[in-house]
Amino acid sequence: MDGAVEEARKLLTEATERVTSINEDDSIPVRASKKAGTKSKKQVRDEVLADHSQKLKDVHIKYGYTTGKWFVSLIFTPADAVDGVWSRLAVSVAQGPLSQTAVDVAKVATTPPNESSGQRVICVYMPNILDKEKVLEVMRILLENHGVNLSGVKSDLYTKIGLDSKHPSHLQSTIWKNTDFLKDSEIKELRGEYFAKLKEDQAAKTTNTAKEADKQHVPKPKMTVDEDPFGSESEDGQPIGKKPLKRPAEEDNKKPAKKAKPSLRK
């Protein structure tokens, strides 16, 4: 892939020089004029950037250097929640929805321990980011099944030549933007559906937990003698440990005897 990197770097250098030249050329007006038939600096710049972006895409195809990744932005995710997001995506790649797509690798880059803030990002890799159909399939799953924020698709070649959003060439640092596939409204809707389902699942889980807790606190009815499987009887047929039932004969025998009248002695 050295040939691809070398050719891409030359195009990047050329684009940077052209953009710098346009910015410094006073003969190119800041505003376009239909009457004079002149283009603005921005229009001329955009033409150069569009031309070089296409040439860079051609380099990917020429050398078969098509690997790249979807950026999952964690900039709005609390630091203590990053592990959870990463864990769910990793499981998805290994044996979940993403395992059924072209995704083959996922990596996470977190803020260094000595930094209190910074951008955290997860990269979901694909072998061919120029295959728009497969890239869109991955995008939909990331939105529908994981509800994540996406920030475009970047090629490994762009990473290799150091093309980022702050590069002086002003070239787009990603091969694809989110809106190259879906409208912002569609993206918002898909993420909204994910969080709505998540909320429903959590509510159902809470309800089930409460029901189980109630079941554990319901007092069990006391068992009658006949229902007691552990009850045993004494020789006279009375359950041991229970107050014996009085029989009629027993009741007669237990009537108090009449006191004898004292005899009078002379």
Query: Which carries the bigger pLDDT value, residue 227 or residue 88?
Result: 88
Asked if pLDDT for residue 266 goes beyond 50, the answer is no
Query: Among 65, 82, 98, which residue terminates a domain?
Result: 65
Q: What is the mean pLDDT of residues 189-217?
A: 81
Say if residue 72 is in the same domain as residue 177.
Answer: yes
Task: Tell me the percentage of the chain whose pLDDT exceeds 90.
Answer: 61
**Band of pLDDT at residue 81, cut at 50, 70 and 90:** confident
Residue 241 counted as domain residue: no
Average pLDDT over residues 54-77: 94
Give the residue-averaged pLDDT of 199-220. 73
29, 60: one domain: yes
Q: How far apart, in whole angstroms, are the C-alpha atoms of residue 72 and residue 176?
A: 14
Whether 97 and 178 share a structural domain: yes
Q: Could you tell me which of 24, 76, 73, 62 has the C-alpha nearest to residue 45?
A: 24
Asked whether residue 213 is domain-assigned, the answer is: no
Q: Decide if 190 is inside a domain.
A: yes
CA distances from 163 to 12, 103, 119 (A): 8, 23, 17
Please report whether residue 223 resides in a domain. Answer: no
Quick one: 92 and 190 in the same domain?
yes
Domain holding 46, by residue range, is 1-65
Residue 118 lies in a domain: yes
pLDDT in tens, 120-146: 889 999 999 999 999 999 999 999 999
Q: How many domains does the chain have?
A: 2
Q: Indicate which CATH number applies to the domain containing 155.
A: 3.30.760
> What confidence category does residue 179 fall into, taking pLDDT thresholds of 50, 70 and 90?
very high
* Residue pLDDT, tens place only, 28-56: 999 998 888 899 999 999 999 999 999 99
Residues 39 and 151 in one domain: no
Burial (Cβ within 10 Å: 0-12, 13-18, ≥19) of residue 264: exposed
Q: Identify whether 29 is part of a domain.
A: yes
Give yes or no: residues 142 and 90 share one domain. yes
How many Cα atoms within 13 Å fall on the side-chain side of residue 159?
A: 13
CB count within 10 Å of CB 139 equals: 23
In a domain, 21, yes or no: yes
Residue bearing the bigger pLDDT, 224 or 111: 111
The answer to whether residues 198 and 91 belong to one domain is yes
Query: Residue 89 falls within a domain, yes or no?
Result: yes
Question: Looking at residue 198, what is its pLDDT?
Answer: 86
Residues 21 and 70 in one domain: no
At residue 76, the pLDDT reads 76
Whether residues 49 and 125 share a domain: the answer is no
CA–CA gap between residue 66 and residue 63 (Å, rounded): 8
For residues 17 and 101, membership in a common domain is answered with: no
pTM: 0.73
Q: Are residues 73 and 43 in the same domain?
A: no
Residue-wise pLDDT for 233-250, tens only, equals 545 555 545 455 555 555
Confidence of residue 161 (pLDDT cuts 50, 70, 90): very high
**d(C-alpha 16, C-alpha 169), whole Å:** 4
| Mean pLDDT computed over 76-87 | 85
| Same domain? 89 vs 199 | yes
Confidence band (pLDDT; 50, 70, 90) for 202?
confident
Report d(CA 172, CA 15) in Å as an integer. Answer: 12
Q: What residue type is 105 in one-letter code?
A: V
Separation CA 173–CA 151 (nearest Å) = 11
